[in-house]
Amino acid sequence: MEKRLKRELMFELVLFAFAVLVVVVFWENNVNALLMLLVGWGIAIQIWHTKQDVMLFVVAAVCGPVAEMICIYVGVWQYANPDFLGIPIWLFPLWGFASVFLNRFSHTLLYFYDKWNK
């Protein structure tokens, strides 16, 4: 069990780094960033394929950007390279990635925390 969780933790961190790297490298080309994030999600869903993961991804990919569009509309902040209602199009899958990553990463860390604090 612990070996599997260590692999999951490593996969979670690699996927997080991948998503950040895609945004950093491709932020000026929104379509490329979108495509790269979708490819990353396609790979991730082969491993993270529970209904909860998919639902969390979809809900966050919709709700997160909608909240950002509202904030941008009222002037709270802005993006350097927006192309869809004030946001870059890659923000949709990035919100999905972030929600699934944070959910899985926190569960993995809690497992190790509980194990080490017995």
Instruction: Locate the domains of the chain by residue range.
Output: 2-116
What is this structure's pTM?
0.89
Q: What is the C-alpha separation between 99 and 116, in angstroms, rounded?
A: 26
What confidence category does residue 116 fall into, taking pLDDT thresholds of 50, 70 and 90?
confident
What are the pLDDT digits (tens) for 51-74? 999 999 999 999 999 999 999 999
Q: Which stretches of 1-118 are DSSP H helices?
A: 2-26, 30-47, 51-73, 91-116
pLDDT reported for residue 1: 64
What are the pLDDT digits (tens) for 91-104? 999 999 999 999 98
Instruction: Name beta bridge partners: 87.
Output: 84
